[in-house]
Structure 1
Amino acid sequence: MSDSVHASTVLSSTNANLSNASLDKAIVYLEEHADASKDGADEVDLALLVRKIDRHIVPIALVAYTLQFLDKLDLNYAAVMGLNQELKMKGNDFNNAASAMYIANLIAELPTGYIVQKVRPGKWLGINIIFWGVVTAATAAVKTYHGLIATRVMIGILEAATAPCLMLITSMWYTKSEAILRFAIWYCGLGIAQMLGGLISWGFQQVTREALSGWRIMFLVLGCVTATAGVWALLCMPDSPMDVSWLTEAEKRAAIQRVRVNQTGIKNTHYKWKQLRELVVDPQIWLLTFLIVVTSLTSGVISFYSTTLIHNFGFSALRSSLLNMPSGAVSLLSCLATAYLGHKYDNRALCMTVFCCLAAMGSALMSFLPASQRAGLLAGIYLVNMQTVTLFLVFCLTTANVAGHTKRVAANALINGAFSLGNIIGPQLFQAKDAPRYIPAKIVLLVTQIATAVIAAALRVYYGYQNRLRDERERKEREAGEGKEVVVNIEWLNLTDRENKTFRYKY
């Protein structure tokens, strides 16, 4: 039976004025496999099903995100391993190389939002990981600053698909309450990358061969590992619950039905321009965007300058790499703690506010402690890493609170573009003339971390206000006997969060 026939079947019980293209692929699948309900779909053990889904998605997502941050941090570590000297970099050349990747990433996010809606996200993710691994390995061969810029630009383009694909895939398979833990787990890749990166850098600094520098071997090895992981993702990362071979028909139906409570759908390849227009005027989108821009200024420090800052505290290059490892532990533990608190108390925005204030304390220590207080300066570096939780919590809020498939994938791309914008600006704060302490940059970070806490609090107020308005409207309609008939299968009609008045925001 064709999609249009199924569309008419569903629409006959909902709203005949809705377009067939509005239907989510999930409801079409359920209609096509209606007879599968007889094979025990209602008897599927949902706890076992979730664990089965976790085994196929979470490890790949964690590895992909770990490698993405390793491929950012490798430039950070290479800077103290002789890269600047070998490539004869001077002045702000290192800053420009760091920003070049994110400029390319920002530009690439524009078409990524469209592409991810049209293609299979698991396959697109795998292909991009393979190619960025190849380019990372090729970085071992660069001889000049311009060659380094070229490889960073290519990596920026190829990494643009990672977060949007993972955000989309996570929202397809998990309920809103489940998603926060899964986001936290794959975002722990940042902390793991920081800890592994320190060990990797320390190990490759032991290489003293004149023919091939330690930092070159590091890029070569990391590139090969990344390309191998890309093959794994290409073959094993699921595209949607409707397409996998490792679920029975009953389990597929159960996997689809359990996420209908999200009211954000699973898959719809029809591009709706009116959803883009709504995106532009939606206050939550701009609050989330500003939040990401200001918080990702700190991410630039973590990705590109943390090892250099520690080195400038007076530690050797070898010790600087090892002393940066606790930063990863702070990032990892902060993510897990936030996931627990956010899930238990159902208040993601409050968690952001608290952790941003702790990160601001770190920036204050780095800014105002004298150079002789190395322990306090290190504590500042470690505390700053607490702000990383803001990034994955914004991912959670975006996937939970933006409905309508076109609006959602565009929002994912916009949020990741905002992340790139912040990371373009971040490295430029560290001007060569301010070395070795970079006090102006640290003070800017302190201000932006306080601003992040304020914006997070504003977002909490906005979501609470919107939910109260909708609850009040429903109450008045019910008391007046004017309540509208509930539309059947409304969660599969590709409505936006503003069109669907039964939608409630998570905060």
Structure 2
Amino acid sequence: MAADLERSSSNKADVCQAENVKDAANVSEKYGETMERFAHLDEKKILRKLDLRIIPMLTLLYLLSYLDRGNIGNAKIEGLDVDLGLTPDQYNWCLTVFFFSYSAFEVPSNMVLKKLRPSVWLPCIMVAWGTVMTLMGLVKDYHGLLVARIFLGVTEAGLFPGVAFYLTMWYCRHEMQLRQALFFAAASVAGAFSGLLAFGIAKMDGVGGLAGWRWIFILEGIATVICAVFAFWGLYDYPETASFLSDDEREFVIYRLRYQGGMVGASSEDVETRVPEDQEFKWVYARQAFGGFQVWIMIIAYWAVVCPIFGISLSLPTIIRDLGYQRQTAQLMTVPIYIVASIFGVVIAYFSDRVKLRSPFSIGCLTLTVVGLTMCLASTNRHVLYAALFLAAMGMYAASSGVITWLAVNLSGSCKRSIGMAIQISVGNLGGAMASNFYRAKDAPRYILGHSLSLGFVIAGILSMVSLLVTYNVINRKRERALREGKRAEYSEEQLSFLGDKAITWRYMY
């Protein structure tokens, strides 16, 4: 009896496994036949088209965004705090309130982005924050500056999460980080431009009866509004409507996104996993995003990037000045730090995409930040401290695109991914509110408290990513075992599509 039951069970398993093999073969054959329709297309050429038409405009938008939120640090050493009679605590509050309003409006903005065209929504919010930035140059006191910073946060909130999501609608999982890094490199380039522009614009001190720091806000705000007008025509919405692609190219881009698991070296199980890129907004997908375990773990990893970035970048001119350099020299000395960080971030992203791994590069970059911050705490030599700022900036800016990308490629379904990324960036940016108070004037010139707090967040981020890596590995192994046991047959295509990254055919990227 026992032998018969065992033999019967074995036969059922064999039949089920045979059916799975047959299904996988049929899917692979269908996939191969479909790909033959695109054999005349050059995938690399199409990618170059996408890069040339999409990345430059997005990079410009984010450069201006980062420039406008961070130029208050440059304005401070040009006399903003003195002219407005700000105490150190009042100045820190002006930095902090930006992140409260900025974080509060990021998720709603991405919800609106799912309903409106990106070529309309993104330029509109850009015009709004450019106007606020310009008017900030006319504030008369602490309360005026505080209110202006609140509205700057409201109007800028939608850009970063919107663009980060927008890129996932054009590029596959294994191509994402390089494009995110090129876009995010604008942040480090903005830091370089900020010092150079502040150095030049400050020479307008007295023109029109206005102080030099006021002209920093006014001119950079006007530049943002002008660029926003061009962005109405310079941004493309989605591949389905991209006028710079032929009909076949549009169809190919859409197809490779939907079946991206099977595009490069994927198994037959991956091929049959379709990514629901055409999701309409539904509250059920929002609930899925809010309930995603990886979203909340990656918030800690994002804090590891945000806290040192905003803590240091908002105070970098002051930190360098407090090392014993002249005011204008300090402005210029910020430039090479940001340029080196920008180049390093793009190089890291290139190799991350090439080997199709996210976590090792992000963890490695954060480790470099640990080294830089530790040097800042351990040394009193200003040359060593300046070198340490290079290492810290290289690590944190290079890790930023990896942290964003690693979550994006592990959320399936465009609506869930849009909201999940906005949650990560929104809650993560509250770290900026904390970090804006890390580097206090009374702690100069060593800034022991600021460096220590930044270091603590970076270490916590490393630990969170290691734990998520282990979790992904366990889940992937369980799903592979479930497929071998024939459980794929228990789900319809519609069920797998609805489950997204929770489907047994989905594989998390490391």
State the alpha-carbon separation in 1 of the partners of residues 226 and 277 from structure 2. Answer: 29
Matched, 1:90 2:87: yes
2:383 is aligned to 375
- The question of whether the paired residues in 2 share the 8 Å contact of 1:88 and 1:144 is answered with yes
Could you say what secondary structure the match of 1:242 adopts? helix
Matched, 1:463 2:444: no
Amino acid of the residue matched to residue 355 of structure 2?
Y
Matched, 1:54 2:51: yes
Give the CA deviation at 1:132: 1.0
2:176 is aligned to 179
Matched, 1:336 2:336: no
- The question of whether the paired residues in 2 share the 8 Å contact of 1:117 and 1:268 is answered with no
- The question of whether the paired residues in 2 share the 8 Å contact of 1:292 and 1:418 is answered with no
- The question of whether the paired residues in 1 share the 8 Å contact of 2:106 and 2:426 is answered with yes
Matched, 1:221 2:226: no
Matched, 1:484 2:489: yes
State the alpha-carbon separation in 2 of the partners of residues 192 and 224 from structure 1. Answer: 19
- The question of whether the paired residues in 2 share the 8 Å contact of 1:72 and 1:303 is answered with no
Which residue of 284, 292, 303 corresponds with 1:293? 303
Matched, 1:268 2:268: no
Question: 1:101-120, aligned counterparts within 5 Å?
Answer: 101-120=98-117
1:13 is aligned to none
Matched, 1:249 2:247: yes
User: Deviations 1:252-297 (Å, cap 9, x if unpaired)?
Assistant: 2111012123444333323132x33333443211111111123311
**Structure 1, unaligned runs of 5 or more:** 1-36
State the alpha-carbon separation in 2 of the partners of residues 306 and 171 from structure 1. Answer: 32
Count of aligned pairs between the two proteins: 460
Matched, 1:140 2:137: yes
**Structure 2, unaligned runs of 5 or more:** 1-33, 261-273
- The question of whether the paired residues in 2 share the 8 Å contact of 1:97 and 1:149 is answered with yes
1:308 is aligned to 318
1:503 is aligned to 506
Give the CA deviation at 1:428: 1.5
User: Deviations 1:288-313 (Å, cap 9, x if unpaired)?
Assistant: 11111233111212331111111111
- The question of whether the paired residues in 2 share the 8 Å contact of 1:310 and 1:323 is answered with yes
Q: Which moved more, 1:461-470 or 1:41-50?
A: 41-50
Could you say what secondary structure the match of 2:315 adopts? helix
State the alpha-carbon separation in 2 of the partners of residues 146 and 166 from structure 1. Answer: 32
Give the CA deviation at 1:71: 1.0
- The question of whether the paired residues in 2 share the 8 Å contact of 1:87 and 1:143 is answered with yes
Could you say what secondary structure the match of 2:485 adopts? helix
Give the CA deviation at 1:251: 2.0
User: Deviations 1:223-272 (Å, cap 9, x if unpaired)?
Assistant: 12111221222222111112233323222211101212344433332313
Alignment TM-score, normalising by the size of structure 1:
0.86
Matched, 1:156 2:153: yes
- The question of whether the paired residues in 2 share the 8 Å contact of 1:191 and 1:329 is answered with yes
State the alpha-carbon separation in 2 of the partners of residues 360 and 114 from structure 1. Answer: 36
Which residue of 120, 123, 130 corresponds with 2:120? 123
Amino acid of the residue matched to residue 376 of structure 1?
V
State the alpha-carbon separation in 2 of the partners of residues 466 and 62 from structure 1. Answer: 36
1:349 is aligned to 359
Which residue of 96, 101, 104 corresponds with 1:99? 96
- In 2 relative to 1, CA 470–116 (structure 1 residues): closer, same or farther, beyond 3 Å? same
- The question of whether the paired residues in 2 share the 8 Å contact of 1:363 and 1:380 is answered with yes
Matched, 1:361 2:361: no
Which residue of 408, 412, 417 corresponds with 1:399? 408
User: Deviations 1:14-55 (Å, cap 9, x if unpaired)?
Assistant: xxxxxxxxxxxxxxxxxxxxxxx9xx8663332222222212
- The question of whether the paired residues in 2 share the 8 Å contact of 1:330 and 1:383 is answered with no
User: Deviations 1:133-152 (Å, cap 9, x if unpaired)?
Assistant: 12111111111111111221
2:433 is aligned to 424
User: Deviations 1:175-205 (Å, cap 9, x if unpaired)?
Assistant: 1111111111111101211111111111123
Whichever of the two has the greater Rg, that structure is 2
Q: CA RMSD in A?
A: 2.1
State the alpha-carbon separation in 1 of the partners of residues 417 and 73 from structure 2. Answer: 33
- The question of whether the paired residues in 2 share the 8 Å contact of 1:366 and 1:442 is answered with yes
- The question of whether the paired residues in 1 share the 8 Å contact of 2:192 and 2:336 is answered with yes
Give the CA deviation at 1:56: 1.5
State the alpha-carbon separation in 2 of the partners of residues 285 and 347 from structure 1. Answer: 18
State the alpha-carbon separation in 2 of the partners of residues 325 and 183 from structure 1. Answer: 22
User: Deviations 1:86-112 (Å, cap 9, x if unpaired)?
Assistant: 111113111111111111101112422
What fraction of aligned residue pairs are identical, expressed as a percent? Answer: 25
Amino acid of the residue matched to residue 497 of structure 1?
D
